[in-house]
Structure 1
Amino acid sequence: MSTPPRPLRSHQRSLAALVGAIARGEAAGIADILAAVTPGGGKSLLPVIAAARLIEAGVVARVVWVVPRDSLRLQAEEAFADPAWRAALGHGLSVRAADNAPDPARGLAGYVTTYQAVAAAPALHLAEMRRHRTLLVVDEVHHLPALADEEPGSEAAAWSRALLPLFRQAALRLLLSGTLERADGRPILGLPYREAPAGREALPDIEAPGWAVIGYSRAQALAEKAVLPVNFGALDGEASWLEGGRTAGQARVGPHRLSGPAPSATTRPALFTALRTGFARDLLREAFFATRRLRAARRLTRGLSPEAPARGLGKLLVVAPDQASAQGYHAMLQGWMPAAQGARDVRIATSAEPDAHAVLAAFRLTPEPAVLVTVAMAYEGLDAPEVAVVAALTHIRSRPWLEQMVARATRVDPHAGPYADQHALVFHPDDPLFARFRARIETEQATAPRRRPRPVSAATPEPRPWREDDDGIVPLESNALGLRYALLRPGPAVALARPERLEPDAVPPSLAERQLRARVAAMVTAQAVEDEAELRMPRGSPLPHRYNAVLKRLFGNKGRAAMTAAELEAALAWLERNRLQDHLHLLDGDARYAWTLRRRRVAAGAERRPAGG
């Protein structure tokens, strides 16, 4: 059963009204819609609202949704497939997570792709948009720099160059962002800017002709109970390191405190050291045991046994500074549990892990794993409302990045009970750079934190360094000194109520296609095995390969990878009623299969000769 959807939030209602006006011809001058929504603030529903209304009215025929990373493609599919929102919005549209194969939409209402995919095959996506009037949705548009202000060789500039023709070709553009600023302070691709005085940062021009801007702030999200309050656990400590690397003449520096009234020359080296030595273990331990206490309390309230799997107990997200540290954190967390439980409950997702996307999906949609260690894959856009605790073991201190990370824990979990019983808990180093980020958020929200000191025992130092810094800093040791809590309201985030699992009739298109392709492959292989076993074909010939070629010719010379879901269903129906060996004549004249054809004829002749003849 699906969880009933919450009522539309104010920004979602605003977009619905705007696209309704566009559909009726009352806002014909609008070609660009900018949705500036607080991180995690329900952006994933906006393309569904816009596409459903505009396609129904014939304003556009397709939607193309571009996301910044592959792990977000399935989430975009799910936004269209969500049965509760289908019923609430009255739409029946589907999109598919596409790669750069031909016909990316496969007969559906559109497709989802990534910045990287567009940059790899820009002509393919531009040709698709030229064939259909398209609503172009660009998610997290702040990743795209304006080309005039970006180094020509950077990856982000390559994304912008590839996407710019799509911007120009689209009938309508919907640009989504959780923060209208880049970490480097440069303009964002496609946004209009007001002229700024010398030395001042230019700001987007929200009143530019042809533009409509929809905003959703933290304060609005909190007022609508769409976000959770954030409780920050700031852990202070001391760190020591060597300057000059391992060369002669290196000098020991420290111990230096992480905290301080203002950033200094030792702030970043101390933070770098802390995240790779004993301090990291201490912060991780605080987050781990806080998560364990939360899960135990929720189990007790619901009368669940310690081992019973259940949704809504709360999960821990660990954000590491690099992949080597992530591996160390992962092993550390597993070491604090029995072996079987650790293997089940603690997983890692980094770009180096072959099963990273499967791990992310399990973390989002199933009771286990309860702990995920990552570097950057899951910090932005991860729709996992069960995350209740974050261990912020990252050295990055840009405001957009930190906002996105904190937002992973501030989504409302529909499985966790009343809103009043939920809050986000973020553990972080108590350095002045993080404190400055938090102070800026507090100032914008006109709120003040309520500090509640909590005692914590300092752990023993860990003198063995984990790795050497490229800048010649060798971490030596660090340890935690004290933990203090600060409650922040409102926090950056929101969560739409989502179904616990997708219902069978709401399977995302790309997953349905994979399942159909697997069924077709299994049936082809089964026929090949049966034919060999019954001596219809000589043993040893690679029949599955040949039978696949026959099936391809039977269906318009289109391989399984290029078939739509309807074509795959038709292939399955055909295979249930027919034998591929009866159609091997379709390979006549193809030199690649001449050997197999000769063997087939020999085998057929042997079957016709009488025994002993």
Structure 2
Amino acid sequence: MSASARPLRSHQRSLAELVAALARGEASDVADILAAVTPGGGKSLLPVIAAARLIGAGVVERIVWVVPRDSLRLQAEEAFADPAWRAALGHALLVRAADNAPDPARGLAGYVTTYQAVAAAPALHLAEMKRRRTLLVIDEVHHLPALGDGEPDGEAAAWSRALLPLLRHARLRLLLSGTLERADGRRILWLPYREGERAPVPDIAAPGWAVIGYSRAQALAERAVLPVNFGALDGEASWLEGGRPDGQARVGPHRLSGPAPSATTRPALFTALRTGFARDLLHEAFLATRRLRAARRAARGLPPAEAARGLGKLLVVAPDQARAQAYLAMLRGWMPPGQAARDLRLAVSSEPDAHGALAAFRLTPEPAVLVTVAMAYEGLDAPEVAVVAALTHIRSRPWLEQMIARATRIDPHAGDYADQHAVIFHPDDPLFARFRERIEAEQATALRRARRERLAAPRDPRPLPQTDDGIVPLESNALGLRYAMLRPGPALALVRPEVPPDPPLPPSAAERRLRARVAAMVTAQAVEDEAELRVPHGGRLAHRYNAVLKRLFGNKARAAMTAAELEAALAWLERNRLQDHLHLLDGDARYAWTVRRRWAGEGRAARR
């Protein structure tokens, strides 16, 4: 079946029908669209559907898409550049991942930016909103607390204050979320709420609002997400209370599992994630990933060292950056050095190339294992993730849903849907068990218990330093692993179109590549001419040549050029020499030395 013949999922069809009505001049009272889509359910395609129809009909002139993190900014840009969906939806729109430089859209259909960027330059983005009729997309809107009485402090409140004027001036608003709950219990910015409720409940019947929902049950029935196999690992933990090891009583060992949360649940979990239990759980996840990759290699006849898509990857979620480093060291110890260098990456905020590690994990066959913290929880679009090691202390439902959704995306390279499922290894504590029960009830599926395994793991008696929790973790060990599979319903729809092997670069990546090529050509001309000009060391001829190129192209810096302008600069550099245009620097004292030495360029021209 061709890409254009593949049907959309039910929530995507609902949005397509709504924007079609808006394009026809119907549903004129709708100014806000709320899409509550289960994590992994295909939320990122909704802005593409809306923009393609509404810009084409002239309802809006462009789209501005605001996301909570830089990695999601690049993924949003890729959603518009995806060739399969461009063919399926029949659109030719592109947006660019922008920062706070002027003219963020650069002649394209719009731009994608982050909450942080808007908060840093609210006037710039508000001016862009006022210039043209805009479809404003707020991704993961639950990150934004409502403002008003008892206004919250901190970064999230600053985001809300900066984004509120944009919401007011947008022609149409599309608000996306995988959950309509905030961990702090506050209301969410801009959403209407029912009055008189104990807990905040969005008012889905509010005037001017259209609400599109897509639950986990619907996603499973349509085979839009994968079923989940939970591997619950039980264990025992011991610790010292009071924060000082001298004279303090030892607590435990206490089991992680229990009929209900108690005073020992969180200290036991805290200890388990920092001692031997964590090693045991991580090792189970590592072995499961290795078995999966070996089985898929064998089924496809691939040799052990050959890189290929669709073999399955492991995501390790750590409680903090220090433990992420420790888990990375454990994984290195279980691999040959060459394999570890190829397959392992760490993505935490203290790492200089964290976003590069995330991008490589998402877009290339290797690396196969990523260790991270909260920065990869939400929105990470890496369909090859098949196994998650949930070594995190967070137990709020929204965060856990985001975490398991990293493995429930369908991998187009991994074969049939029936042969794929997500595996989540987690501590068998009652807080996680409560979350899992809510997932089961939401999906209306029955648990099927599988075999139990007993794990014999050595104890790690070495204490860790004092923590802010007021306990000193001593030791923990795994006791038993049990699996529970959540099964999907019947297949009602097809999955995302196949991605071609070499998809085109999204706009911002293409711009970066063009800027690098321009810089390389300018530098090459400077290196070639330095010998002839006999420039003293430190003459910075490349700097002067860059100034010449800027003047040749309307005094516009490369960072402000559109892709078309960068391509024009490349074409010009292929036919011309910057040395022959040094007269453009006349009168600029910063380049007086170059002007005095221009005779060398003139002499070069005379010798041709």
Q: TM-score range with shorter-chain normalisation?
A: over 0.9
What secondary structure sits across from 1:147 in the alignment?
coil
| TM-score computed with the length of structure 1 as normaliser | 0.95
Q: Which residue number corresponds to residue 597 of structure 2? A: 599
User: In structure 1, what is the Cα distance between the partners aligned to 2:482 and 2:329?
Assistant: 27
Q: Which residue number corresponds to residue 477 of structure 1? A: 475
What secondary structure sits across from 2:410 in the alignment?
coil
User: In structure 1, what is the Cα distance between the partners aligned to 2:177 and 2:592?
Assistant: 57
User: In structure 2, what is the Cα distance between the partners aligned to 1:495 and 1:417?
Assistant: 12
Give the letter for the 1:98 counterpart: A
Q: Which residue number corresponds to residue 414 of structure 1? A: 412
Q: Is the 8 A contact 1:149 1:186 kept in 2?
A: no
Q: Which residue number corresponds to residue 527 of structure 1? A: 525
Map 1:127-138 onto structure 2 (within 5 A): 127-138=127-138
User: In structure 1, what is the Cα distance between the partners aligned to 2:463 and 2:559?
Assistant: 48
Give the direction of change, closer, same or farther, for the CA distance of 1:100–1:498 in structure 2 (3 Å limit).
Answer: farther
Q: Which residue number corresponds to residue 389 of structure 1? A: 387
- Structure 1 residues 403-439: Cα deviation after superposition (integer angstroms, max 9, x where no partner): 0000111111111111111111100000000001111
Q: Which residue number corresponds to residue 23 of structure 2? A: 23
Q: Which residue number corresponds to residue 170 of structure 1? A: 170
Q: Is the 8 A contact 2:232 2:426 kept in 1?
A: yes
Aligned residues: 602
User: In structure 2, what is the Cα distance between the partners aligned to 1:457 and 1:396?
Assistant: 25
1:35 aligns to 2:54 (yes or no) = no
User: In structure 1, what is the Cα distance between the partners aligned to 2:254 and 2:6?
Assistant: 49
Q: Report deviation, 1:51.
A: 0.3
- Structure 1 residues 255-314: Cα deviation after superposition (integer angstroms, max 9, x where no partner): 111010111111001000000000000000110101111111111111111112111111
Give the direction of change, closer, same or farther, for the CA distance of 1:5–1:247 in structure 2 (3 Å limit).
Answer: farther
Q: Which runs of 5+ in 1 are unaligned?
A: none
- Structure 1 residues 455-509: Cα deviation after superposition (integer angstroms, max 9, x where no partner): 1322111122344311321111000011111112359xx9745525443xx3100
Q: Is the 8 A contact 2:362 2:381 kept in 1?
A: yes
Question: 2:300 aligned to 285, 299, 302, which one?
Answer: 302
Map 1:282-431 onto structure 2 (within 5 A): 282-431=280-429
Q: Is the 8 A contact 2:223 2:488 kept in 1?
A: no
1:182 aligns to 2:178 (yes or no) = no
What secondary structure sits across from 2:374 in the alignment?
coil
- Runs of at least 4 residues off by over 6 Å: 2-5, 604-609
Q: Which residue number corresponds to residue 84 of structure 1? A: 84
Q: Which residue number corresponds to residue 253 of structure 2? A: 255
Give the letter for the 1:271 counterpart: L
Give the direction of change, closer, same or farther, for the CA distance of 1:216–1:100 in structure 2 (3 Å limit).
Answer: same
User: In structure 1, what is the Cα distance between the partners aligned to 2:497 and 2:313?
Assistant: 17
Q: Is the 8 A contact 2:3 2:88 kept in 1?
A: no
User: In structure 1, what is the Cα distance between the partners aligned to 2:371 and 2:113?
Assistant: 25
Worse-superposed segment, 439-448 or 14-23: 439-448
**Percent identity over paired residues:** 83
Q: Report deviation, 1:604.
A: 6.7
Q: Is the 8 A contact 2:533 2:601 kept in 1?
A: no
Q: Is the 8 A contact 1:465 1:476 kept in 2?
A: yes
| TM-score computed with the length of structure 2 as normaliser | 0.96
User: In structure 2, what is the Cα distance between the partners aligned to 1:604 and 1:210?
Assistant: 67
Give the direction of change, closer, same or farther, for the CA distance of 1:495–1:259 in structure 2 (3 Å limit).
Answer: farther
User: In structure 2, what is the Cα distance between the partners aligned to 1:605 and 1:424?
Assistant: 68
Q: Which residue number corresponds to residue 539 of structure 2? A: 541
1:115 aligns to 2:115 (yes or no) = yes
Q: Report deviation, 1:214.
A: 0.6
What secondary structure sits across from 1:348 in the alignment?
strand
Q: Which residue number corresponds to residue 104 of structure 1? A: 104
User: In structure 1, what is the Cα distance between the partners aligned to 2:347 and 2:604?
Assistant: 56
User: In structure 2, what is the Cα distance between the partners aligned to 1:183 and 1:130?
Assistant: 33
Q: Is the 8 A contact 1:227 1:495 kept in 2?
A: no
Map 1:218-237 onto structure 2 (within 5 A): 218-237=216-235
Q: Which runs of 5+ in 2 are unaligned?
A: none
Q: Is the 8 A contact 2:309 2:413 kept in 1?
A: yes
User: In structure 2, what is the Cα distance between the partners aligned to 1:348 and 1:203?
Assistant: 38
Q: Report deviation, 1:3.
A: 7.9
What secondary structure sits across from 1:148 in the alignment?
coil
User: In structure 2, what is the Cα distance between the partners aligned to 1:57 and 1:608?
Assistant: 55
Question: 1:450 aligned to 443, 448, 451, which one?
Answer: 448
Q: Is the 8 A contact 1:235 1:427 kept in 2?
A: yes
Give the letter for the 1:355 counterpart: D
Q: Which residue number corresponds to residue 67 of structure 2? A: 67
Give the direction of change, closer, same or farther, for the CA distance of 1:264–1:255 in structure 2 (3 Å limit).
Answer: same
Q: Report deviation, 1:7.
A: 2.3
Q: Which residue number corresponds to residue 125 of structure 1? A: 125
Q: Which residue number corresponds to residue 269 of structure 2? A: 271
